[in-house]
Amino acid sequence: MQKPPFPGLLFHSVVPKPRAEIAHFPLGRFEKLCNALRQRNYRTLTLHEAANVAAPAEGEKTLLLTFDDGLQSVHRHALPVLDFCDFRATVFCISGFYGKKSAWDVFTRNRHLTREEIRAIAQSGHEIGSHTCTHAYLPYLDDQSIGRELSESKMRLEDIIGKAVTSLSFPYGGWNRRIWEIARETGYSAATLYCGGDGDQKGLFPVLGVHQFDSVDDVLAKLATALPLSIIRARSRMMAHFARGTPIWKYRKEYVSV
């Protein structure tokens, strides 16, 4: 099994007072985590940067840092901490939900970034990536619908930030080789793997979810382990399936068996 070139972390919400969602990470703990990473001389990469670097330099601690869903809490709470630590991240946005509340979370409804906030994040040096138009579970869609989800999201985000969008995160972590081929044909060159996969194809990067119950030491352990199979990594992958509900929570008429 191929070892990923960089360890990667995936957050969703960073909030002062977490609620019922497993994906709500406490702001105070996020500040402590970023300070711990900085003290340990970690350097962060966007997904675009990671896709264009063969491997970290000898002795260098390099981390891929990502946020799924493009939620307002990232702009309000996470970004000031990242900027203070001089860390850069990739924020994956859903182009059909600018400023709206999510329609798929099981316990709470989280508000998404506005167009202005997305533009401000890009202008501050972070990467904007695509998380599709509607947060559909892509494996349940036909090829034409997948292409539309990916191409329209890419186009809309590029119109906002004025630069190419080449990075992708699959909603619910749902992907397969058919979807990745369509994504590449659409113009994406890199994607994160959340619920499984080990990056055995060029441009695919595994990331481990960070959840509300994770301590700073837990997150550091996820980064430190050199083994692609370990208890801490297995737990992260398993919890990824619970952190954001399930793809059938809001089943859609366009879902098909393919």
For the chain, give every domain's residue range: 9-243
Strand partners, 190: 167
Residue 167 has phi, psi (to 5 degrees) of -110, 145
The whole-model pTM stands at: 0.89
Show Cβ contacts of residue 242 under 8 Å, excluding neighbours closer than 6 positions.
22
Give me the CATH code for the 9-243 domain, please: 3.20.20.370
Altogether, the residues listed in the chain come to a count of: 258
| List of residues 6+ apart from 122 with CB closer than 8 A | 128, 160, 161, 163
d(CA 118, CA 165): 12
> What pLDDT was estimated at residue 49?
94
Chunked mean pLDDT (size 10), the chain, 258 residues: 73 92 94 97 95 78 95 97 97 94 73 97 97 94 96 98 98 93 97 73 90 94 66 54 52 67
128 by DSSP, 3-state: which? strand
Task: Write the burial class of residue 241 (CB in 10 Å: 0-12 exposed, 13-18 middle, 19+ buried).
Answer: middle
